[in-house]
Chain A
């Protein structure tokens, strides 16, 4: 038995494997999430232009967190989960 009492919740750090990366963006629905930091929109606009030029995306879905200061609400997470790939922009 450990001689000290632990402050840790050892069950709270589940190891989640990252989702498999797509081989190609062709035919993919790409989600672009703006986290509401200043100039995030400008950054994602330009990113969208470049990705459309270079890849045969099925479509781009633009998502936005109401505030960067809190985790994404369920609605945004639901929509994101339906995308084939996601880019989340921090900007600033």
Chain B
């Protein structure tokens, strides 16, 4: 038997296939797996039947019980007592001799450090958001930290006011599945949410849906392969998925925001696994968010906004900019609670899909014109709000005369607009805000030169 992994794994398999296992010789092979390569093995396990001259007579790839029995019978053997544990048919795994030398060596280092994959143990420790995590071995964490000082303190994380070091954040990034190249975004996003203006304390503890929503702008989007097109808001892109997840793991592990213990969200939401996306700057007729905020276009930034899961809406049939803007306005009026005016949040994010953005730009609507339209049309008279029957009314609404008009937004600047999404489809989305005295924070991303 030729084993590419741990000798004990080879022994377990031998015990399963043959009661006479102790009579087999086991060769534990190391990179570059020359014997496996010489036999042309592409899948593990592979059984090869050789005759006395060493010529191949039969072969079975992956798990295939009838074929295994056939090969064993040819040499007078049979399946052992533990064979019931073997799958009847299963494809098997990629053989290590088919991987690049670099990956072969990394895999062997992981074997040496883990002695197993460690995933179950990490679940038991609670170092998870509910999904499997990547084991934070010293090798992986060191690669994430890179040239940085691992002990450098990034701040204190509420609610338990834990000290967050570069190394602890790097562990969260490893657990989340980040590539080391993504770590500058995780660092910048962390600095953003730790700014007191963001009020992470409130976001961590609240019964609301609140979570950080991250928007990435500038060259880092393309350099790191962040998703801004189809499924920008999830799923399918490693950078988007793991950067957002690293922040969540930092909040719940280092920060102590454990679900149902100190994170008391009534319902939570899928965005709480992490919501990070890039603005589709190439598909936008308008200036991107970071330029609007005063950064030069060649800088990369991440903007953290407290929000809920995206609330999408369709507009496939409006034929004028005004009609489309009306749909957008009505969608934005639903946030927090449908009859609660003003919403009282620092920012509410409107994510405009490329087709909607193009329709507005073709009608010569700037981003600011859209913002002004929504600001001036997202309003109701206090009388109409009271007549709605809803009891969730603001103090302003309760105190106003029937005719007095109350805006959903107090200033146009509360309406934040970015462009994201695939090239087809007329679906845009609102990120309902959190309130909670939380305001967005933007930080530059320091990519290595």
- The interface of chain A, by Cβ under 8 A from chain B, is 3-9, 11-13, 67, 69-71
Contact = CB atoms under 8 A, between A and B. Distances in A.
A8 B162 contact: yes
Given A4-B118, A4-B122, A69-B199, 17 more contacts: A3-B118, A3-B137, A3-B138, A4-B127, A4-B136, A5-B138, A5-B170, A6-B171, A7-B127, A7-B172, A7-B254, A9-B160, A9-B168, A9-B254, A67-B437, A69-B437, A69-B438
Interface of B: 113-115, 118, 122, 127, 135-138, 141, 160-164, 167-168, 170-172, 174-175, 199, 201-202, 206, 249-250, 253-254, 256, 435-438
A90 to B, nearest CB: 10
23 contacts: A3-B113, A3-B137, A3-B138, A4-B135, A5-B136, A5-B137, A5-B171, A6-B136, A6-B168, A7-B168, A7-B172, A7-B175, A7-B250, A9-B163, A9-B164, A9-B168, A9-B254, A12-B161, A12-B163, A12-B256, A69-B206, A69-B438, A71-B201
B266 to A, nearest CB: 12
A12 B162 contact: yes
Contacts of A6: 136, 168, 171
B37 to A, nearest CB: 31
Closest 5 CB pairs of A and B: A9-B162, A12-B162, A69-B202, A69-B436, A7-B171
Nearest to A1: B138
A3 B114 contact: yes
A69 B437 CA distance: 7
A18 to B, nearest CB: 17
A55 B116 CA distance: 64
B199 A70 contact: yes
A70 B163 contact: no
Contacts, number: 64
Interface centre among A7, A9, A13, A69 (most CB of B within 10 A): A7
A7 B253 contact: yes
A68 to B, nearest CB: 8
A59 B436 CA distance: 32
A12 B160 contact: yes
A5 B118 CA distance: 12
A4 to B, nearest CB: 5
A67 B162 CA distance: 23
B39 to A, nearest CB: 33
A8 B435 contact: no
A70 B138 CA distance: 37
A58 to B, nearest CB: 33
A13 B135 CA distance: 24
A40 B125 CA distance: 40
Contacts of A67: 437
B437 A70 contact: yes
Contacts of B250: 7
Given A69-B435, A70-B437, A13 B172 contact: no
B368 to A, nearest CB: 30
A70 B203 CA distance: 9
B201 A70 contact: yes
Contacts of A7: 127, 136, 168, 171-172, 175, 249-250, 253-254
A67 B436 CA distance: 8
Nearest to B140: A5
Contacts of B122: 4
B340 to A, nearest CB: 11
A76 to B, nearest CB: 15
B282 to A, nearest CB: 36
A11 B162 CA distance: 8
Nearest to A14: B160
B123 to A, nearest CB: 12
Nearest to A66: B437
Nearest to B156: A12
Contacts of A70: 199, 201-202, 437
A5 B167 contact: yes
